[in-house]
A and B are shown apart, each in its own frame.
Chain A
Amino acid sequence: MKVSYNWLKDFVDIDIPVEELAEKLSTSGFEVEEYSFQNEHLHDVYVGKITKIEKHPEADRLQICQVDVGDKKVQIITSATNVFEGAVVPVSLEGADLVNGVKIKPTNFRGVKSDGMFCSGEELGIDENYIEGGGVNGILILPNDMKIGAKIEDALMLNDVVLDINVTPNRPDCNSIIGIAREICAIYDKPFKDVDYSYKTVGGNINDHISVEVKTEKCPRYMASYVKDLKLTRSPLWLRSRLFAVGIKPINTIVDITNYVLIEQGQPMHAFDYKHLAGSKIIVRDAKKDEKIAVLNGNTYTLNSDDMVIADSVKPVVIAGVIGGVNSCVEKDTTETIFECAVFDLKSVRLTSRKIGVMTDSSLRYSKGVYLSTPIKAIQRALNLVSTLNCGKIVDGIIDTCKQKEVPERKIEASMSKIDKILGVTIDRKRVLQILNSLGIKSILNGDKLSCTLPYYREDVENENDLAEELIRIYGYDVYNNVEGGAFEHSSVTVGAFEPRLVMENKMKNELVDNGFYETLNYSLYSPSAIEKLMINDERKNVIKLANPISEDLSTVRTVMAHALLLDIHYNLSVGNKGLRFFETGRVYQPKSLPLTELPVENNRLSIAVCEDGYDFFMLKNVIENLLISFPLEYKLERSKEPYLHSGVSADIIASDGKKVGWFGKVHKKVLKNYDISEDVYYAELDTDYLSKLPEKTYATKEISKFPIVERDIAVVADEKVTNGELISAIKSACGKHFFECELFDVYRSESLGENNKSLAYKIRLVSDDKTLTADEINAIIKKVLKSLEFRFGAKLRA
């Protein structure tokens, strides 16, 4: 919220450098995001009067002006055509540094000296709304009665400092000048002085002119007053100056008064053109289904019964609390007005304002909360301004639909020792009472009992914690810099522990890093097109869609990990990166049913992708085997059913309980095409939730034979269909108890072996527990092996 320093001075006597004020406000809970000086670019600009104009002898378009700037006379050359002798104008002299970046120095125009420049409204940072002539394409002609030689910032009342304050949601009362002023009073322990709320009426009775009927629960108070014989002119400069400072466009006296009260009191107001209120009636009601209203921002909105409107006897005239309709607003020809000063339900205004996407100063305040008592003084203040500006005649009486004229003061009782405990420091009792009272919280301390009477605008204060905060934010958090005591003075001894899955993931991550992998981090939201690109055709097609996505690309919650890493690979290849080994941990979110009625299953995964010259399935297999060896996991490999993997070059990892705990393989060519990747990619994924639930691996070692291992190599020719796994398990069983290891060391294919044949060479290692195997014994075993391979697979010893 923008706050004018000058305006604050109406309520509290301050003469504090703004830097200090900003710091103090920030450290007491009202963060000042920035502050700016209105006059930053107005120095060395004065009010001058043109006394004489002559043509430039050398240039037709230039005029030489003699100008009186008070204590001296200057000469200004101008090309502006709207200047005349006797005109009062802004004159920028040497040293001026205008808002558009122009720096003024005396110059020569074809042999004639110019001491400076006349300014337009734009060059002073103002416009037609601020002052008449402020928007013309030429020099700003000032009113004749301005003091010649005055500084322009004083003459135009542009000498304010504007603070931009971040007001937290618990303090809606501070979305007002009056609220911030009260805080400053508490911070500096200064008395709060209020403004004048009195006004003069011209008799009559408002009830003879207008009636108000509230037909909804969502409007606990509606106040109205009636002003006639309006003089709709520009507001005086001082009022325009204040509105301008806080970023509100001055329009005319009546509209400016409603805005002034909004900013000062935090109470939104509205002014109707009386003649457009059909039936002289104001009805506050829920909107009808598909009711339409054209409003001041130029749009027409269609409402329904969730929304609230202000209507006359035939039509809606305002979307309650949000924006006024064009059919009843105050215009140039308005002669009588009804001021509205109401309280609307926060939720209703919030919902409507969000739904139609219209945020106004009014809707923002209603959405944060306006107190039931606020309108009482606010409407008086508006009438006071009408009197002060003498811009209309106030008819006697204010309509108020609220039965409860005075909201009873709220009282709470608190334990002082509990407050001490919350803070962990003890604040001197006198200071406690002084702080609370300065905040408007009337407090008495009796023993441990703190009795507080709260002003209506402090609904946020309910218990000891709230009071503790009020005390410490004004007392200052610096007190903790010097208190004794350690971090564990009051807390129990607890034994820390890691989340087992995180520990496990970290081990796997480090292993992968040692293997040359880089950890990536991707969003867990993706485009629904991921499912098509990956050719997913199972339950993972059922993705959860966001109700309010940021973009199509982030509109569904992922059910598959692979998408992100494939995008990463595509991106990296596109920028010329090579040798890509990536991994990532994250979650997939599988709905139990759609639309979602209960929470989805969140499953943690480790995904791996490689795109590197010379990489192959078996290198990836090695990575997976090494990762899994630390777990007490019995598993077998089956041909993978993952739709995005090459069906012949991929495997599913099936645990002994039948659960698929992962898969790995070459990515399907079609999928790669969908991701615009022209190189082979290998991908793997493991279910880390499953792995983390496995018990810790335990070890039971067997005795090692005292006798040496012997080795024999064999090479057999077998049909292509016969797998290495089958051959090895046959070798193992043929060797019987003397089997130690068997390793494939060569695969060879050639025409001489016959079509569809391959040669596989194995190193068979044998050992006995009780003797050194003799050559005869070894030969007998190898013979048995060869026989078995021939019998079972037709595999023959290679000649």
Chain B
Amino acid sequence: MKEKLDAILKNGLSEIENADNLKALDDVRVKFLGKQGELTAILRNMKEIPAEERKDVGMLANVVRNKIEEALSKKLAVLEEQQLEVEMEKERVDITMPSKGIKKGSLHPLTRFNNKFMDICVEMGFTVIQGPEIDTDYYNFEALNVPKNHPARDMQDSLYITDNIVLRTQTSNMQVHAMETIKPPFKIVCPGRVYRNDDDSSHSPIFNQFEALVVDENVGLKDLMKMIDTILKRLFGEDVKMRVRPSYFPFTEPSIEIDATCQMCGGKGCSLCKGSGFSEVFGAGVVNPKVLEMSGIDSKKYSGFAFGPGIDRSVMVLNKIPNIKYLFRNDMRFLKQMR
């Protein structure tokens, strides 16, 4: 009997070894361990074995069964692994094939800039407000210290609807609306469209501006400079340099123009900045007390400062857009580059 068991073990292990697929391996299992299997037969017929041998034969039969089972499971793992490899090989894809589903579009670069700028302003305590694009002469001009027929009206060619109603030439009209309705101290910023009677290769009749206004008890030119410095660094990076030139706006006094390192050339000088390394970003100034008074703010108690960029140029520079007209042309070849 012992020889018989040895033979079963030897044959079993060898057949397991030779099984080269899961079916063959299962056949081996059935042949030795199945209901009609060779080893099963021996175990089932134990009682026919003489009592004195039974214990040894029993132990040996169990050892043989364990060894075969162990070999089976080892071989099974190997064969399963091989099978998986084969299946996975069949599923292999060309990873350069196009992705499926909807391809993302893009926000307009102006919106992107707007959002960035507004985020900065809101973090600095500004409230974003919007207002009318079609406004009365009073809000667009007179309340900003530009009476009818004032020479300062030559600075902006307006588009009129009637003698008294105008497409706003500047978001500064919102200064007046804000001062009339919000109690100081306040900080507001007003993004929006403005309109000018001006259409050539470097001007578009409709463009985008911001107007920021701070009214408080003790603010002045220095606070304006420091705030703009902070904003410029957030917008263009810590290395940005700022340059100030005196200027004139009827509603601010003193008035200044603020230039920042030209973002097109990084300050080296290019055709856009006419070699100066700087490009104009903000008009700014301390609010003229006459303007405060006209809107009912006590100029003895309060002072203010305002700044406003025309943002189309900054958007151009930041995105290296070669032609300002691209901003309104809505050509997919341009928009796709903004993704």
Contacts and interface: CB of A to CB of B under 8 A. Distances in A.
A581 interface: yes
A174 to B, nearest CB: 11
Interface in A360-376: 367-369
B189 to A, nearest CB: 9
B219 A519 contact: no
B105 A487 contact: no
B226 A465 contact: no
A674 interface: no
Interface stretch (A254-262, A446-454, A596-604): A596-604
Interface stretch (B22-30, B79-87, B239-247): B239-247
A487 B227 contact: yes
B306 to A, nearest CB: 13
B160 to A, nearest CB: 4
B151 A367 contact: yes
For A422, A466, A577, the residue with the greatest tally of chain B CB atoms inside 10 Å of its CB is A422
A518 B106 contact: yes
B133 to A, nearest CB: 6
Contacts of B331: 571-572, 575, 577
A551 to B, nearest CB: 7
Contact of B134 (A424, A485, A544, A580): A544
A515 interface: yes
A512 B105 contact: yes
A568 interface: yes
B107 A519 contact: yes
Contacts of B220: 421-424, 490
A494 B149 contact: no
A350 interface: yes
Mostly, the B contact residues are: mixed
A135 interface: no
A523 interface: yes
Nearest to A577: B332
B134 A487 contact: no
A546 B161 CA distance: 5
Given A347-B149, A494-B185, A577 B214 contact: no
A29 to B, nearest CB: 4
Interface in B112-144: 115, 118, 121-130, 132-136
B223 A490 contact: yes
A463 B333 CA distance: 54
Contacts of A492: 185, 216-217
B206 A524 contact: yes
A468 interface: yes
B133 A587 contact: yes
Given A27-B245, A346-B149, A548 B105 contact: no
B336 A547 contact: no
Interface stretch (B11-19, B33-41, B56-64, B248-256): B248-256
A489 B223 contact: yes
A549 interface: yes
A569 B186 CA distance: 44
Interface in B295-339: 303, 327-333, 335-336
B162 A547 contact: yes
A460 to B, nearest CB: 9
Given A522-B330, A550-B159, A498 B128 contact: yes
A207 interface: no
B102 A515 contact: yes
Contacts of A477: 244-246, 256
A508 to B, nearest CB: 11
A714 interface: no
A585 B136 CA distance: 24
A169 B103 contact: no
A517 interface: yes
Interface stretch (A499-507, A631-639, A665-673): A499-507
A520 B107 CA distance: 8
Contact of A351 (B149, B222, B223): B149
Contacts of A493: 125
A425 B222 contact: yes
Contacts of B335: 518-520
Interface string B203-236: 0011000000010111111110111011000000
A529 to B, nearest CB: 18
Given A496-B187, A550-B199, A572 B125 contact: no
A572 B149 contact: no
A589 to B, nearest CB: 6
B150 interface: yes
Contact of A509 (B107, B125, B159, B162): B107
Contact of B221 (A368, A472, A595): A472
Given A502-B118, A571-B331, A468 B254 contact: yes
A516 interface: yes
Contacts of A367: 151, 154
Contact of A572 (B102, B110, B286, B330): B330
A169 B162 contact: no
Contacts of B110: 521
A515 B214 CA distance: 39
B185 A491 contact: yes
Contacts of A168: 247-248
Contacts of B186: 494
A317 to B, nearest CB: 25
A489 B133 contact: no
A323 B281 CA distance: 40
Given A521-B328, A577-B332, A469 B255 contact: yes
B68 interface: no
B193 interface: yes
A308 interface: no
A172 interface: yes
A554 interface: yes
A655 interface: no
A463 B303 CA distance: 14
Interface in A758-777: none
Interface in B151-176: 151-152, 154-155, 158-162, 165, 167
A485 B226 contact: yes
B162 A596 contact: yes
Contacts of A195: none
Given A480-B225, A599-B132, A494 B187 contact: yes
Nearest to A474: B246
A497 B105 CA distance: 28
Contacts of A524: 133, 193, 206
A729 interface: no
A497 B254 contact: no
A497 B127 contact: yes
B21 interface: no
B128 A499 contact: yes
Given A502-B118, A515-B105, A29 B134 contact: no
A408 interface: no
A595 B162 contact: yes
A726 to B, nearest CB: 32
Given A493-B125, A519-B106, A571 B329 contact: yes
Interface of A: 26-29, 31, 168-172, 346-347, 350-351, 367-369, 421-425, 463-466, 468-469, 472-473, 477, 480, 483, 485-499, 501-502, 506, 509-510, 512-525, 544-551, 554, 557, 568, 571-572, 575, 577, 580-582, 587, 589, 595-597, 599-600, 602
24 contacts: A346-B149, A422-B286, A466-B253, A469-B246, A472-B221, A477-B245, A477-B256, A485-B222, A490-B216, A494-B185, A496-B124, A496-B126, A513-B107, A519-B111, A521-B108, A544-B134, A545-B161, A547-B160, A547-B161, A548-B159, A571-B329, A572-B331, A595-B162, A599-B135
Report, nearest first, the 10 A-B pairs whose CB atoms are least far apart: A424-B222, A469-B254, A168-B248, A29-B246, A496-B122, A477-B244, A465-B253, A347-B149, A169-B151, A577-B332
Interface of B: 102-108, 110-111, 115, 118, 121-130, 132-136, 148-152, 154-155, 158-162, 165, 167, 185-187, 191, 193, 195, 197-199, 205-206, 214, 216-223, 225-227, 229-230, 244-248, 250, 253-256, 286, 288-289, 303, 327-333, 335-336
